[in-house]
Structure 1
């Protein structure tokens, strides 16, 4: 997919998610779901920025502070929402949010502790992500089949699409890293 179309697709998905979040509050009146969605939007915005600028480093202390503050705020609101879902007995929401937190943990690991893209570490990361995404798909299917409100199902599938975009950013970075490593190895072999 060429870069222009990918950007159009990415920002269309993010725009649809923003509309979806507003609808949660205005149509459904779900304050906890609105807080949860807004926190995830902040977090996905930070992850989008960081995953699309991998390898560039921070421009300064201020940028790092702002991103850290946004992360702390978003994660705090997400945990607050999980507690609310737990108190209300909304178990699918609890499992869904906990799974997304797991996905975020793996993505952050991939972005900031990139290791060997082969071997046991790589297989473990793939296995963990597969289990987490499987759980998220099950949650989306539950909302699609069981929920009386289409917005619940649309929301679940939109979030999967949004994180697919982040995954593509990280995948592109990893592919670039592998390509650079191969070029450096080739140059080193040519020098030796």
Structure 2
């Protein structure tokens, strides 16, 4: 393989690795930014890709690994001679520096679910004092279809926490359940379900009151 062919192959690998990394993260990135942008109907657009995410991650690693191999492997005497004859310095887009930038970006994309919570304001009510009668507090469980990662959990929690009367909210994409504590005089479980569906695009399939505080 001459120097030009090696460079072209490496460039294609870099582009392919970047594309696959972004594709692997769409199911996690879309819910977060759709919720933040107020276009919740798009949140679940790429949820169907979640089962393929592990394979896409594996492909990303293999492709970028091959690109690094192409950059770091010792050149043969023939390739060195070709490089001397061409007397051309590789462009930035074909350099190790650019490959390093792409690799870091790909890692950030693949790890997105683990830090997606930083994109949401603290909606946990913080230290704000809320006066509520204990007899008015209810706990409910919402079964939600469409959550596939922690990014989805943050989106649902944000939709619940901005609802008036909500005291606490937590969600699990693994179980597909959100638990919410709320003041029944200010909001109903039906309204909470509607708020989640409108803000995130996910479907609430079941609503249950699980406990009434004395």
Fold-level match, TM-score > 0.5?
no
Normalising to structure 1: TM-score of the pair? 0.39
Bigger strand fraction: 2
Normalising to structure 2: TM-score of the pair? 0.36
Bigger helix fraction: 1
